[in-house]
Amino acid sequence: MSIRKRNEFLEHGGSDDEGLGDESEDEERRGAKGGRTNKRRKIDAQSDDKSIHSVNERQEADVAVLEDHDGEPIDGTTTSAGRFALGADFEDDEQPRNALDPTTAQTRPKSVLAAEKVARKSGVLYISRIPPFMKPSTLRHFLLPHASKGLGRVFLTPETQTSHSARVKRGGNKKKSFTDGWVEFTSKNEAKAAAERLNGEILGGKKGGFYRDDMWNVKYLRGFKWTHLTEQIANENAQRVARLREEVRRTRKENKAFVDDVERVKMVEGMVRKRRAKDEGTVAVGGKGGRHFVQRKAREEKKLEGIGRDTDDAAEQRRVVSKIFT
């Protein structure tokens, strides 16, 4: 009877399974003694298997990418080189942010060009006199029929606070009034036509309207754009702020000079007062009160002064008496 030989290569899988089964039985027996250590070992084994599978999958993916790129399989040396080469994902990351967002890179120039084109086609009208108490909305209402392509921005200069308060003090209207203004037309041709048609004409409207008999004072500003107006207003505001700062600085300087003069006068008056008191003897040396002695004249000097005074008086009396009786 022939003995059947075992094929180790064919029975390798079964032996592995049997070995795994024996290992599992041993682990179960050990788990009865220390379950925590067995769990840790199982988790470590699973993590090692997962890492090995992930490495194999990554290598296979790199080889597949290189084969698709060249059209034919390559050697092992080139495979290792391709594995360390940067893929398409890394090239995309190196691109600028504007390339990732095409809207920001493409719409900005278009919007800027469109704004410049609109500004070139626009025209500005200057109104030298605004009817009393007319609001910007009312002015737009009167100008809209003459602008088929539309109106842009409207700016009216308000009256000064002094004139408004003076009118209210006299018993006038308390509403806000404007002096002059600028109106932007979308089309410069319409702006020119409106200036020629409206200048010197009455506003019109319904009979009995508040602005029916007011007249237009309009002029088309050639080559003038709305940006020039904003720049002019900004310059005027800056000049006003500069003048205000200069006035504040000058006022502070004058106030400081006045205070210095007052302090100097007080100091001089005090010095004069102290010197005068010192000369009169009312102020003691060292700033403290003390005795003051006035030197008396000698007796002989007093007698001589009295004698001379008596002789002079007698001579004067004799002279007067002689004049009377002569």
pTM (two decimals): 0.42
Closest CA to 77 of 88, 66, 87: 66
Radius of gyration of the chain (CA): 56
Quick check: 78 and 61 in contact, CB under 8 A? no
- φ/ψ region of 133 (left if φ > 0, alpha if ψ in -120 to 50, else beta) reads left
Give the pLDDT band of residue 79 (cuts 50, 70, 90): very low
How many CB atoms lie under 10 A from the CB of residue 200? 9
Token readout for 276 is: 């005068």
- φ/ψ region of 208 (left if φ > 0, alpha if ψ in -120 to 50, else beta) reads left
The larger pLDDT score, comparing residue 302 to residue 242, is at 242
Give the pLDDT band of residue 280 (cuts 50, 70, 90): confident
Sequence ranges of the domains in the chain: 28-85, 119-224, 226-282
pLDDT number for residue 65: 45
pLDDT number for residue 54: 58
- φ/ψ region of 287 (left if φ > 0, alpha if ψ in -120 to 50, else beta) reads left
Low-confidence winner among 26-30, 57-61, 81-85, 256-260 (lowest mean pLDDT): 81-85
Residues 6 or more apart whose CB falls under 8 angstroms from that of 67 comprise 73, 74
- Whether 10 shows a pLDDT value over 80: the answer reads no
Q: Averaged over 245-250, what is the pLDDT?
A: 93
Token readout for 61 is: 């993916």
How many CB atoms lie under 10 A from the CB of residue 157? 13
Low-confidence winner among 62-76, 158-172, 210-224 (lowest mean pLDDT): 62-76
Question: Which range is most confident: 52-56, 115-119, 223-227?
Answer: 223-227
Give the pLDDT band of residue 246 (cuts 50, 70, 90): very high
CATH architecture observed for domain 119-224: 2-Layer Sandwich (3.30)
Token readout for 187 is: 């089309």
Share of the chain above pLDDT 90, in %: 13
pLDDT number for residue 311: 61
- Whether 81 shows a pLDDT value over 60: the answer reads no
How confident is the prediction for the chain on average, in pLDDT? 72
The larger pLDDT score, comparing residue 147 to residue 77, is at 147
Closest CA to 215 of 207, 224, 225, 205: 205
- Whether 33 shows a pLDDT value over 80: the answer reads no
Angle between helices 12-33 and 35-70 (to 10 degrees): 140
The larger pLDDT score, comparing residue 277 to residue 283, is at 277
Please tell me what DSSP assigns to residue 287.
G
